[in-house]
Structure 1
Amino acid sequence: MQIVMIPGFWLDGDSWREVAYPLRAAGHTVHTVTLPGLESVDADRSDITLADHVAAVVALLDELPAEPVLLVGHSGGAAVAYAALDARPDRVAEVVYVDAGPLGDGQSVNTELPVVDGEIPLPDWSVFETDDLVDLDDELREAFRARAIPQPARVASDPQRLHNEDRRRVPATIVCCEFPSAMLQHWVAAGEPMVAEVATIDTVRYVDLPTGHWPQFTKPAELAAVIAEAAARHR
């Protein structure tokens, strides 16, 4: 199956390497996306918007063979995945949200991250919640920081724009890392605003993968298995 993997903030496509390897070994064609402005620390990202990131993924979908693809979005990349689905619902078989969920129309990914000179460097670890950092040991933290690329600031603050109700009919899998699926489902049932969009999707599966916010580093084999299971539903 064609699998398109969208990284979260501060990461390029190669950050999916340990997850993509077993998927490719199983016969899937995996596209690990490097979004505009994340090509290198020296890239010009001053004018990069959330819409630019969405357009890059939509362009890739348009280039791929005609069969529907599996979209995977981690963290802030989940917003990009959902907007790309909104643009091309007929091209997507399912979306896997990794420690994230679909971002509703008018919402922003994160307006609280510290902006420095028009971009968002990877903050000090003390900025993150304890649950974010579970299993991210000193070696993994050092490797993450060495590869981190500043995030275009507007990608974090621009409002999401959605137009196509057909997006709601495409199945979703939410990989629950920091919070157990039972808690997330409770929030959905209670109408919590931050997960309101989840309640509008016809078919949602929840998978528990207990670890911190970056399972592509802390539990790559387990995450690959979850994605492979989603792909198997559509082969």
Structure 2
Amino acid sequence: MTEQPMTESMAFILVPDAFTGGWVWAETTALLREAGAAAYPATLTGTDLAAHTDDVLRVLDALTEERIVLVGHGYGNQPATAAAHRRPERIARVVHVDAGLPRNGVAPLAAIADEQTRARLLGGEGASGTAPRSVPPPGPGEWGRLGSTEGVPAAALARLAERASPQPAATLTRPLRLTGATAPPPDTAILCTASGVSIALLEGLLGLGDPDMTALAKARAAFFELATGHWPMLSVPDQLAEVLLRAAAGQGHRLTAPTEEQPPAHLRPFVLEVAERPRERHGAVDLHLPDGPGPRPTILFVHGGPVPTDLRPTPRHWPAHLGYARYAAELGAVGAVVDHGLHRLDAYPRAAQDVADALGLLRRDPRVDPDRIALWIFSAGGLLAADWLDGPPPWLRCLALTYPVLAPLPGWPAVDGRFRPTEALARGTGTPPVVLTRAGREDAAIANTVSAFLAAARDTGAPVEVIDVPHGRHGFDTLDHTEESRDAVRRALHAVLGRLTA
């Protein structure tokens, strides 16, 4: 491991996730000490979040080092942050390892995505219907419920299950209380990309005006990525130790707010130069019309999300969606774009209804051939494809998916079980032809959902055509102005139109 610069008289306190103890940090602790750093793994013994904060403070107050780096993993992020607010003068930095953003007055339970764990905490296991005093740890094979186990060796995963202990329920259900320190320590986040979060994703949220990302950008928070799952101290302890040393030295990526010269990804120009077409607005749907009389085959373009409710311009004005719709019209089809209601991850049912309403509107329009419709879905809108993969109507001639998310990502709050495209495909009840455009430089967690979908397609014999963009990123159609990207867009459009006119 490459030794990184350390501030004189500095130490790490390593705070573990739920169900674990200081033992989980053993390899990382040894590596930090080999590099010349002081490292102190904490074991939390209290019965609520305030007591766990006191546990961290007891470790801190016993140290002689002048400045401390507090490291919180998962749930451990909560007492670490609370302790930093209690002793801001001694804390050089708080490092959050694959953990959500702590919020004053909000219980840690809010950051737990797994529905079964939530049910336990809300009393689902108590015979009397009251909340249990403690929550049993996941059993063997269940640890993926708390976060991706990608990269963890089988022996380490077995050790995790063997040594885990129940978590006091009150540590998760009672709200975090921060002191509101006037000068809280700076933050660094270590993102484990197999958990579904990456720097690119955060910058995309920043471009959409997400208030949390805006605040982090203003605070100059630093970010690192590790290509692993939720347990980097077990899967890549050497890489984690190196990144912790770099974090202590103030290194890391800073989020940069969009500027006029460098707009956010969704507002950058489309990769093809396409002329404007006549456009009509019908409620939430815009129609880009081809020359000549109808009825014509039609493609409805469906954006991803979640998109903030007050974001302007709305997705139907974004260059990519305008570009695809205009290109479809140029080639003789009606190109329609819908603004739907995927404003939160729990809003998929509303978004699905908006898409269904848009399709109904299109099929009633005399310029649209009601029996030749294609649905083209982007990014996290991909979960909406589930409704159209299981017993689709005969008029849906094609389903196009571009850099799609095809299963809820690790760490997402509970998404309605109806929106599982791979499961819908696996049922094999008459899948329409699918044209899937895949970005070669896709985020690992998203790429895994696409791989699972394609495996199900192979098993069922579903008609899926894959168009690869080997060097393309998520959003390549505005981010990567290359001939490869332009060719992929052209091929995808022609493939869809071919199925509409067959």
Q: Provide the secondary structure at the position in 2 that maps to 1:166.
A: coil
Q: What are the ranges of 5 or more consecutive residues in structure 1 without an aligned counterpart?
A: 38-47
Please say if 1:199 is aligned against 2:199. Answer: no
Deviation track 1:74-106 (CA, whole Å, cap 9, x = no partner) reads 000001111111111111001111001441111
User: Does the Cα contact within 8 Å between 1:105 and 1:159 map onto a contact in 2?
Assistant: yes
Higher relative CO (Cα under 8 Å, sequence separation at least 6) belongs to: 1
How far apart, in 1, do the equivalents of 2:157 and 2:250 lie? 34
Deviation track 1:127-179 (CA, whole Å, cap 9, x = no partner) reads 735961212343332111011111111111110111223354x2211000022
Partner of 2:199: 181
How far apart, in 2, do the equivalents of 1:165 and 1:158 lie? 21
User: Does the Cα contact within 8 Å between 2:98 and 2:191 map onto a contact in 1?
Assistant: yes
Q: Provide the secondary structure at the position in 2 that maps to 1:69.
A: strand
1:171 aligns with one of 158, 164, 186:
186
How far has the Cα of 1:187 moved from its partner?
3.4
Higher mean C-alpha displacement, 126-135 vs 15-24: 126-135
Q: Provide the secondary structure at the position in 2 that maps to 1:70.
A: strand
- Pair 1:108–1:202, CA change in 2 (3 A): same
- Pair 1:14–1:162, CA change in 2 (3 A): same
- Specify the code of the residue in structure 2 equivalent to 1:88: R
Partner of 2:104: 105
How far apart, in 2, do the equivalents of 1:85 and 1:94 lie? 8
Provide TM-score, normalisation by structure 1. 0.84
Instruction: Work out which of the two has the higher radius of gyration on C-alpha atoms and give 1 or 2.
Output: 2
- Specify the code of the residue in structure 2 equivalent to 1:93: A
Partner of 2:168: 152
Please say if 1:138 is aligned against 2:137. Answer: no
- Pair 1:50–1:224, CA change in 2 (3 A): same
How far has the Cα of 1:200 moved from its partner?
8.2
User: Does the Cα contact within 8 Å between 1:8 and 1:77 map onto a contact in 2?
Assistant: yes
Partner of 2:235: 218
User: What does 1:19-168 align with in structure 2 at a 5 Å threshold?
Assistant: 19-37=28-46, 48-65=47-64, 67-110=66-109, 113=117, 114-115=120-121, 117-124=132-139, 125-126=141-142, 128=144, 132-168=148-184
Higher mean C-alpha displacement, 173-182 vs 118-127: 118-127
- Pair 1:130–1:155, CA change in 2 (3 A): closer
Identity %: 32
How far apart, in 1, do the equivalents of 2:81 and 2:52 lie? 12
Please say if 1:209 is aligned against 2:226. Answer: yes
Q: Provide the secondary structure at the position in 2 that maps to 1:128.
A: helix
How far has the Cα of 1:54 moved from its partner?
0.5
- Pair 1:200–1:233, CA change in 2 (3 A): closer
How far apart, in 1, do the equivalents of 2:60 and 2:14 lie? 12
Q: Provide the secondary structure at the position in 1 that maps to 2:85.
A: helix
How far has the Cα of 1:190 moved from its partner?
4.3
User: Does the Cα contact within 8 Å between 1:93 and 1:171 map onto a contact in 2?
Assistant: yes
Q: CA RMSD in A?
A: 2.6
- Specify the code of the residue in structure 2 equivalent to 1:28: A
Deviation track 1:197-225 (CA, whole Å, cap 9, x = no partner) reads 96387221110101111111111110000
Q: Provide the secondary structure at the position in 2 that maps to 1:110.
A: helix
Number of residue pairs matched? Answer: 222
Higher mean C-alpha displacement, 56-65 vs 206-215: 56-65
How far has the Cα of 1:118 moved from its partner?
1.6
Provide TM-score, normalisation by structure 2. 0.41
How far has the Cα of 1:181 moved from its partner?
1.7
- Specify the code of the residue in structure 2 equivalent to 1:138: A
Please say if 1:7 is aligned against 2:23. Answer: no
